[in-house]
Amino acid sequence: MREIVLEARAVTRTYGTGTGATHALRGVDVEIEQGRFTAIIGASGCGKSTLLQALGGLDAPTSGKVLLEGQDLYALPDAALARLRRTRLGFVFQAFHLLPAYTVRDNILLPLLLDKREPDEEYLALLTRQLGLTALLQRQPTQLSGGQQQRAALARILVGKPRILMLDEPFSALDSYLREEVEGEVGSLLASFAGTALLVTHNRDEAYRLCKEMIVLNEGQVLRTGSTKAVFADPQSIAAARLTGCKNILPCTPLDSHTVRLDGWNTTLRLALPVPAGCTAVGIRAHDFTPCAADAPNAIPVKAVSTSENPFDWNLICTPPEGTAQLWWKVSKKSLCSAAPAAPQYLCAAPESIMPLKG
Ligand code: ADP
Ligand code: MG
């Protein structure tokens, strides 16, 4: 049975008034399932943090409701809301907010002590071991690396055993090398966390690796919700396709229920998914093309106009033989020294890999 633990109903959040108003959220409805990890993804400024804060009882919507286990959060008296937030929810922000005057151990235990709750020493030992903090508990936060500080901040939240973890871009203050390391550790920790988690990120790979469910926001509105795999396989809109990292958004004209004409490429493509009314483009991921013969199904005539080399793949930018439209083809390298692929004359994409898009 689907158990909904947290929901937003017609949540609108407007900052300021009149002509200077910012509509950060516009009629957002979402349901968060118990025990699931959900990513909230979207471009910078689309309302991700505002939504997380509304769901977490930190910021009252201008209109609409937030229900935590059926309870209308913002109808509660302030003290009751604050208590609920401290005992049920665990926020992890971009900045770690560790107090420099206290040891790592005291930092981790502080929220519990302030709340006059007894720490579970066994759980603390388990957590600090899992997070590689055991040997660091007596240090001051300034004696920790960025990654260790982030893990201490996470331990501080988890030690209170929140029902719902709320993470707002928790890895973005870390450099890319550390980020991978901490994300790996947090990932395995989350895997053993029995609660519900919400992760705000603008990093699609992170969302894909850590979360089974996804909410795609665009300009304060929900564009798409569903399992992460389903959203990546069929983003349905141009904006959602871009957010999942689709390099090729190619304008098209629908011909019938499974065929489109690719505008500017003098070719038609067959899709496995039905072409919906209002389809204006198809999305094809750059690694989903293969060189083919002129008469192969879904063959697109191309001319390679530029080639660039990455450590593990080649990128080719192609245009039609006559014309200015562009597509990207990404070819994985077998080894660092693999030669560039021969310039193709035709590239094709399997019907299953072509995503019909609206908007
Ligand atoms: P995201 O987390 O997706 O980057 P935010 O939720 O922080 O986006 O912000 C959504 C929009 O609301 C942005 O246009 C932002 O400038 C605006 N905004 C956020 N917080 C405030 C605030 N306290 N006052 C005024 N505008 C705000
Ligand atoms: Mg934000």
Res 173: pLDDT = 72
Which residue's alpha carbon is nearest to atom 27 within ligand 1? 15
Decide if pLDDT at 335 tops 90.
no
Res 69: pLDDT = 93
Res 202: pLDDT = 84
What proportion of the chain, given as a percentage, has pLDDT over 90? 73
User: How far is ligand 1, taken at its centre, from the CA of residue 113, in Å?
Assistant: 33
Res 215: pLDDT = 97
Q: Which ligand is nearest to the CA of 43?
A: 1
At 245, is the pLDDT very low, low, confident or very high (cuts 50, 70, 90)?
Answer: very high
Which numbered atom of ligand 1 lies nearest the CA of 25?
10
Decide if pLDDT at 137 tops 90.
yes
Q: Is the CB of 44 under 6 A from ligand 1?
A: yes
Q: Is the CB of 21 under 6 A from ligand 1?
A: no
Which numbered atom of ligand 1 lies nearest the CA of 200?
2
Q: Is the CB of 40 under 6 A from ligand 1?
A: no
pTM over the 0.85 mark: yes
User: How far is ligand 2, taken at its centre, from the CA of residue 58, in Å?
Assistant: 14
Decide if pLDDT at 33 tops 90.
yes
User: How far is ligand 2, taken at its centre, from the CA of residue 52, in Å?
Assistant: 9
Distance CA 228, CA 209 (A): 9
CA angle 139, 88, 97 (to 5 degrees): 30
Res 42: pLDDT = 94
Decide if pLDDT at 94 tops 80.
no
Res 125: pLDDT = 94
User: How far is ligand 1, taken at its centre, from the CA of residue 24, in Å?
Assistant: 6
Res 150: pLDDT = 84
Cα separation values, 49 from 44, 90, 208, 317, 324, Å? 10, 15, 19, 36, 39
Contact 171, 204 (CB under 8 A): no
User: How far is ligand 1, taken at its centre, from the CA of residue 47, in Å?
Assistant: 6
What mean pLDDT value characterizes the chain? 92
User: How far is ligand 1, taken at its centre, from the CA of residue 94, in Å?
Assistant: 15
Res 272: pLDDT = 98
Q: Which mutation among 11, 46, 55 tests ligand 1's pocket best, with the greatest number of atoms within 8 A of CB?
A: 46
Res 200: pLDDT = 94
Res 254: pLDDT = 98
Decide if pLDDT at 347 tops 90.
yes
CA angle 82, 87, 93 (to 5 degrees): 75
Strands 196-201 and 37-41: parallel
Q: Which long-range contacts (CB under 8 A, 24 or more apart) does 294-298 make?
A: 294/345, 294/346, 296/346, 296/348, 297/270, 297/348, 297/351, 298/267, 298/269, 298/270, 298/348, 298/349, 298/350, 298/351, 298/354
Q: Is the CB of 49 under 6 A from ligand 1?
A: yes
Res 187: pLDDT = 79
Q: Is the CB of 45 under 6 A from ligand 1?
A: yes
Contact 66, 57 (CB under 8 A): yes
